[in-house]
A = this chain, B = another copy of it.
């Protein structure tokens, strides 16, 4: 972790919706309905579910999630036509260690 990346993460955490998404993804089963095709949350939650819950537009949420992945906060996995997002606990730890 370095200052530049840490600041990029800070930018993601400077918006309530993005911060909220990171919180929701701590416990996907508690905040999202089960996936019909994929029977588990091992790779996180699909973009559509996250988008519906935030009530922001699809393009906005897609951009948010892309940026959160770019700076390492999230990990994206594609299964067929769906993208699933989960927390990247390794980077999150590096970030909190960097602050502390």
What mask results when residues 71 to 100 of chain A are scored 1 for a CB within 8 Å of chain B, else 0? 000000000000000000000110110011
In the complex, what's the smallest C-beta–C-beta distance from A86 to chain B, in angstroms? 15
Copies of this protein, total: 2
Interfacial chain B residues near A99, Cβ < 8 Å: 13, 22, 92, 95-96
Shortest beta-carbon distance from A45 to chain B in Å: 18
Whole-angstrom distance between the alpha carbons of A4 and B17 in the complex? 10
Q: Within the complex, what minimum Cβ distance (angstroms) separates A75 from chain B?
A: 16
Q: Is A23 an interface residue (CB 8 A)?
A: yes
Which residues of B sit under 8 angstroms from A3, Cβ to Cβ? Answer: 16, 19-20, 23
| Smallest CB-CB A-B distances: 6 pairs | A10-B13, A96-B96, A14-B14, A10-B14, A11-B14, A7-B16
